[in-house]
Amino acid sequence: MNILGSILNVFRGACMAVADSVPGVSGGTIAFILGFYDKFINSVHDFLMGSWDERKKAFPFLFFLAIGWVCAFLICSVIISKLFDEHIYEISSMFIGLTLFAIPIVIYEEKACLKGKYLNLLFTVIGAILVPLIVILGSSAGVTEVNLAQITIGLVVFLFVSAIVAICAMVLPGISGSTILLIMGIYVPMISAVSSLAHLDFTYLPALIIFGLGMIAGFFVASKVIKKCLERFRSQTIYLVLGLLVGSVYAIVMGTKSVGAEAMNFTTFSILFFIIGGVVILGLQFVKMRMEKRAGN
C-alpha cells in the first residue's frame, strides 16, 4: 500500500469515527457512501477468520483505518462531551440531514441490485419500524445511565453485551451504534469515559477494556453475518438498510432526551444544521466520485 493509499484510509477511518461518535448515522453508512464498505467487511472477516495470507493482506488496510478512527473518535469524544449538552438540537438536526441525504445516495449506488426487486420493499418497512420499536422498548424499560467507575459482575456482562450489539449496529449501514448505546443508557457515560482517558484519567479504564473486548466479539459476529448477507441476499439487505436509515430519524429526534432536554420538535429543529449535514454527505459523495474518476484514469 502506497503513502497516498494509507493517508486515504486514515481519512476514511476518521470519517467513520465522526459518524460513530454521535447518535445518528453509523460508520458503516459512511463507509458505504465512500465506496469501501464491501472491502471493509471483507477485510474484517479475513483478518479475524481468514488464513494467514488473508490476514496479512487485510492488516494494512484495517491498521490505517483504525488509526484514523481512534484519533478522530478521541477528538470527537472530548469535543462532543462538551457540545452535546449545550447544542443538542443543532447536532441532532445535522445528523438528521446526514441521514436523509444518505438515502438517495445509497439508492443511486445500489440501483443495480434494487431495480426490479420491489417486493423487497417489505424489508424497508421492517427496518423503518424496527428502529422506533427499539427506541420505544428502551424507553419503556426505564433504562438509566450506569456508573462505569464501580465494576460489578452485572456491569461486566452488561458492558460486554452492549458492545456486541452496538458494534453490530455500527458496522451495518443504517442505525448507529451510538443510538443503540443511547437507548441502553450507556452512551453519555462511555463518551465521558473516553474523554477522561484522553485527559489521562484512568478511572474508567477497566470499563473501557471490557467494552473493547465486547467490540472485538461483535466484529466476529457482524463481519461474518453481514458478509454472507451481502453475498447471498444483497437486494434484501440494501432495502433493509434504507428502512433503518428512515427509522434512525426517529431515534435522533428522541435522542435529544438523553441530556434531559425535550424531544426535538419543529421549533427546536435547526434547518441550518440540517443543511450542513446534507452538504457534508454530498461532499463525501463528491470526494468518492473524484477518487473513482482518478483511479479510472
pLDDT digits (tens, 9 = 90+) for 203-228: 889 999 999 999 889 888 888 888 88
The CA distance from 291 to 284, in Å, is 11
SS3 sequence, 63-123? Answer: HHHHHHHHHHHHHHHHHHHHHHHHCHHHHHHHHHHHHHHHHHHHHHHCHHHHCCCHHHHHH
Q: Model's pTM, two decimal places?
A: 0.77
The CA distance from 26 to 37, in Å, is 12
Q: Percent of the chain scored above 90 by pLDDT? A: 22
Helix (H, G, I), strand (E, B) or coil at 175: strand
The CA distance from 13 to 71, in Å, is 9
- pLDDT value for 233: 93
| Cα 225 to the center of its chain, rounded Å | 17
The CA distance from 90 to 107, in Å, is 27
The CA distance from 171 to 37, in Å, is 9
- Residue 252 half-sphere exposure, CB side, CA atoms within 13 Å? 30
The CA distance from 158 to 207, in Å, is 11
| Cα 67 to the center of its chain, rounded Å | 17
Cell of 295: 483511479
Residue 85 confidence (pLDDT) above 70: no
The CA distance from 269 to 253, in Å, is 9
pLDDT band at 50 (very low <50, low <70, confident <90, very high): confident
Please state, as a whole number, how many other Cβ atoms lie within 10 Å of the Cβ of residue 66.
15
Higher pLDDT, 2 or 97: 97
Cell of 207: 470499563
Q: What is the pLDDT of residues 231-253, one digit of tens each?
A: 899 999 999 989 988 888 887 88
